[in-house]
Amino acid sequence: MAVEVANPAGSVGELRYLQYEHALEEKYLPAIRALISKDLSEPYSIYVYRYFLYQWAHLCYMALNPVDNSLLGVIICKLEHHASHSPPTHRGYIAMLAVSSTFRGNGIATALVQKAIDAMAQRNADEIVLETEETNIPAMRLYERLGFLRSKKLHRYYLNGNRWEGRRGAISTNKNGPISTVCFVGLREFDIYLTDQGLKEGKTQDRASDALGGVYSHLSVHFGGH
């Protein structure tokens, strides 16, 4: 997929989207780390990136500058069985998403997330989850626009600057106080559902609202066309 995007100089180029593969590590992994680390007070270890990219390279997509193939945006995900649900679900997880600040506002993040959603749906994902800080309004709007529901708040959880630990992130305090983080769960009518909220296959979006108990506001939109 390619889109027309205006760069800061005002010219228009055809933006390239490329699926990551292991052969590209030497060329792009340093750029991926640098781009994602710009939004972190403490950069992730290279082993965190390799944990995802070695196992789920097919769920990583890059947006490249058409002029020099430099990295403008990246999304990194994983997909695995989630045994804590009964029955177990095939859960997708959006771990990292970053876009170069000079190219934001051109739909790059939306395109990257949509590619990841499509890839996980094609691999029979039952649900897709992610965490983002409640204060990150652009990210909140992006995910809600794509059909994600707010399922719960997680205080002092996966804070900006934390070291990555395990499946979800470290639980710790922040010198500036706790930051509320919202966990999103994607809902597609009939085949994406919130098993831990009592929402079962085939229920409507209105029933989804009931299952969530109205604790948080959420949108009545679906992943269209999947």
- Please give the pLDDT value at position 99: 95
Residue 53 has pLDDT above 90, yes or no: yes
List of domains in the chain: 16-159+173-209 (3.40.630.30)
List, for residues 191-200, the tens digit of each pLDDT value: 333 333 333 3
pLDDT at residue 19, rounded to an integer: 97
Strands (E), 38-163: 61-64, 71-82, 89-99, 127-133, 148-155
Q: What is the pLDDT of residues 169-181, one digit of tens each?
A: 222 223 333 334 4
Task: For residue 186, name the pLDDT band (cuts at 50, 70, 90).
Answer: low
Buried residues in 25-37 as b, exposed as e (16+ CB within 10 A): beebbebbbebbe
Does residue 74 register a pLDDT over 80? Answer: yes
Element spanning 16, H or E: strand 12-19
From CA 92, how far away is CA 106, in angstroms rounded?
Answer: 25
β-strands 127-133, 89-99: how paired?
Answer: parallel
Q: Please state, as a whole number, how many other Cβ atoms lie within 10 Å of the Cβ of residue 38.
A: 11
